Structure 1
Amino acid sequence: MIPLDTSPRALAFRAAYDRQIRQRPGSANGGTIDRIGPLVRKIGFDGDGLLLYQGGASGGELDELIASQIEHFGKLDRQVEWKYYTYDEPADLPDRLAAAGFVPDEPECLLIGEVAELAGESPPPEGVTLREVTGRADLERMRAMEEAVWGVPHDWLPDALTRAITDDDPATVVLAEAGDQVVSGSWIRYYTGTEFASLWGGSTLPEWRGRGIYRSLVAHRARLAAERGYRYLQVDASPDSRGILARLGLLPVAVTVPYIWRPRGD
């Protein structure tokens, strides 16, 4: 289990996140949003689903809610993720999801920090520059970098970021470049009507790691959030990035687990 910060400050951050982020439908980002009782159901432009649980269901009511979503996405022949937080009630929610056919994926750590504490100067290493981009050509260059890092197709990325840049919860995409080579890429989303912005991406080519590029991208995006009046930065972090984010001052306040249901034969 990922160790969490249970200080009063960390718990206050988590409470603000619950009120402002978990209790809002958010943006459809090119897809659709529906409320089904205590669930917010999002279907992305690619057809896959995301279920955000608001709490309050239990027993047979909860089982019926889970079953209805499986039926819905079964008819669509699309996969769906139930985003589970380890403090969600009831305590047997993971067992109920698993019994219905949802499979847990790798856990992530929810970290939150104050923008004012993260927005200090942290220049990139010599020879590297940071640049905010919007054009398709640059988003395609970012896609190529991501594919080089992860070794899997990222065909979806340029379309997703093109939509995100002009979304109701807009995004800013920031590239780190050495000459004409993209060595790292990231983005930040601003949640309209809240005090929160969130950090995404940050993949870096192997030969450029360990030089402070990721740290510089975090500080740059924190300054963008500060300019827009946001108070908090939030990240759903993998084990690879959790440590550096914690060292930068973000507090680990919760663990999330994506429970995935896929149609038979997928």
Structure 2
Amino acid sequence: MALTPAELLAALHRQVRTGVGEGDPEAVRERVGLIWRTWSTNPADQWAMVESPDGLGDAPDVTIAGERDHFAGLGIPLEWKTYSYDVPADIGGRLVAAGFESGDDEALMLGELADLVDRVPIPEGVSIREVRTLGDLRRIDDLGALVWGAEGHGPRAPVEGADSDPIERRDPHEYAVLAEESPEGPVLCAARVNLTPGTDFAGLWGGNTHPQWRGLGLYRAVLARRAHWALERGARYARVDASPNSEPILARLGLYRVATTTPYHHG
């Protein structure tokens, strides 16, 4: 029996937010009081994320300042990810008052992966394949900068090596795909899916489509490829932090908007 939107959100909260977390082979996750911290152990790619799914207790501003100062002292950029049902309800304003900068809202959408796997026709001459090389990563990075602009895309992570070199560090719980006309041309669409081991959820992340190739089924086809991969590995539910461009597509396919997520950045 399919879960209701409220039941899906409750399952995500229980299994992921207060359970195993997102799952990243180069990250550490720990609980400190009411706070869940996750941070990278890769010195070449330092980041940290904090969230408070169980609230902030009786001294929310003290808790916020403590997390800010902890990661600032380590020199690690921090993202505090909030959900619209988090408490206190004014957590966003408290974070801004503590020196965090608000990012863009996204729609938290949940639903059945099986609803996303229908075969979708794509333009002749376009192929979809797994991301395999460092050159693929650089081309995907170029696509992100094109879609979001240099400022919105953020700093580009350095990728050392020749374009033809294979990606050495592969997370067995991640599958990244791209759409292209040729390996020498631009990436037309790219995205990834991450399983969350120990849960029923797979996160569908990073979907970007070249502005000149929108409306031609590429995002939908890449979505179907990722959903099929996740289903084969035992996941049941899809999780997406959707942009305004992606939300209508996902809603038509049966995913539900169950909350709004907003990131707050410091450092």
Could you say whether these structures have the same fold, taking a TM-score greater than 0.5 normalized by the shorter chain as the test?
yes
- Name the stretch that deviates more: 249-258 or 178-187: 178-187
* Residues 34-91 of structure 1, C-alpha deviations (whole Å, 9 max, x = no match): 321121212233223210213143222x322212112212212333111111111222
* Displacement of 1:216: 0.8
* Displacement of 1:158: 5.7
- Name the stretch that deviates more: 40-49 or 172-181: 40-49
1:133 aligns with 2:131: yes
1:49-60 maps to which residues of 2 (within 5 A)?
49-60=48-59
> Matched residues in 1 for 2:202 and 2:224: separation?
13
Indicate conservation of the 8 Å contact 2:111/2:238, yes or no.
yes
1:119-198 maps to which residues of 2 (within 5 A)?
119-152=117-150, 155-156=156-157, 165-166=170-171, 170-180=173-183, 181=185, 182-198=187-203
> Matched residues in 2 for 1:223 and 1:132: separation?
13
Query: What one-letter code is carried by the residue in structure 2 that aligns with 1:155?
Result: R
Query: What one-letter code is carried by the residue in structure 2 that aligns with 1:183?
Result: L
Instruction: Give the TM-score, by structure 1 length.
Output: 0.85
Cα 1:36–1:106 change in 2 (3 A) is same
Partner of 2:35: 39
Give the 3-state SS of the residue equivalent to 2:108 in structure 1.
strand
Indicate conservation of the 8 Å contact 2:38/2:49, yes or no.
yes
Partner of 1:106: 104
* Displacement of 1:136: 2.2
Structure with greater proportional helix content: 1
- Name the stretch that deviates more: 184-193 or 138-147: 138-147
Query: What one-letter code is carried by the residue in structure 2 that aligns with 1:234?
Result: R
Q: How many residues align?
A: 250
Give the 3-state SS of the residue equivalent to 1:12 in structure 2.
helix
> Matched residues in 2 for 1:163 and 1:236: separation?
28
Q: 1:219 aligns with which of 201, 216, 224?
A: 224
> Matched residues in 1 for 2:96 and 2:155: separation?
29
1:19 aligns with 2:22: no
Partner of 1:116: 114
> Matched residues in 1 for 2:67 and 2:127: separation?
45
Give the 3-state SS of the residue equivalent to 2:177 in structure 1.
strand
Give the 3-state SS of the residue equivalent to 1:147 in structure 2.
helix
Query: What one-letter code is carried by the residue in structure 2 that aligns with 1:39?
Result: I
- Name the stretch that deviates more: 50-59 or 112-121: 50-59
Gaps spanning 5+ residues in structure 2: where?
A: 161-166
Partner of 1:3: none
Q: 1:230 aligns with which of 235, 256, 263?
A: 235
1:71 aligns with 2:72: no
> Matched residues in 2 for 1:163 and 1:55: separation?
38
Query: What one-letter code is carried by the residue in structure 2 that aligns with 1:221?
Result: R
Indicate conservation of the 8 Å contact 1:198/1:233, yes or no.
yes
> Matched residues in 2 for 1:50 and 1:166: separation?
19
